[in-house]
C-alpha cells in the first residue's frame, strides 16, 4: 500500500496575535505540529512566539517555512505534548 500525501490536508492557519511561552503552545495543542514565529530568544534558547499554524505532519509547513526564511523571520517547528504512550527506545 502506498500512502499519498495531500499538501495542506490538515494545515490550520492560526495567526495568533498573542505571544506565549513555547511550552504553553505545546500544552494547548497536544499531538499537533506547531509552526511558531519566534518573538523572544537568546543564544541558547527560544522562549516565546506567536502560533502561526498547526498540522498533523510537519511536512505541511514546508512552503510556510520557506516564506519565513525569505523574509528573514525566525521560526520554530515543534510538536505539542504527546497524549498517547510513545514507543520505547531499546538500545
Give per-residue pLDDT as tens, 20-39.
999 999 999 999 999 999 99
Beta bridge partner(s), residue 22: none
pLDDT band at 86 (very low <50, low <70, confident <90, very high): confident
pLDDT at position 1 is 45
Residue with cell 517555512: 65
* pLDDT per position as a tens digit, 31-78: 999 999 999 999 999 999 999 999 999 999 999 999 999 999 999 999
Task: Give the pTM.
Answer: 0.84
Amino acid at each position: 500500500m502506498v500512502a499519498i500525501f495531500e499538501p495542506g490536508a490538515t494545515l490550520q492557519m492560526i495567526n495568533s496575535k498573542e505571544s506565549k511561552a513555547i511550552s504553553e503552545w505545546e500544552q494547548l495543542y497536544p499531538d499537533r505540529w506547531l509552526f511558531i514565529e519566534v518573538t523572544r530568544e537568546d543564544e541558547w534558547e527560544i522562549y516565546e512566539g506567536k502560533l502561526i499554524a498547526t498540522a498533523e505532519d510537519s511536512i505541511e509547513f514546508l512552503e510556510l517555512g520557506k516564506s519565513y526564511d525569505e523574509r528573514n523571520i525566525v521560526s520554530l517547528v515543534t510538536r505539542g505534548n504527546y497524549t498517547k504512550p510513545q514507543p520505547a527506545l531499546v538500545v
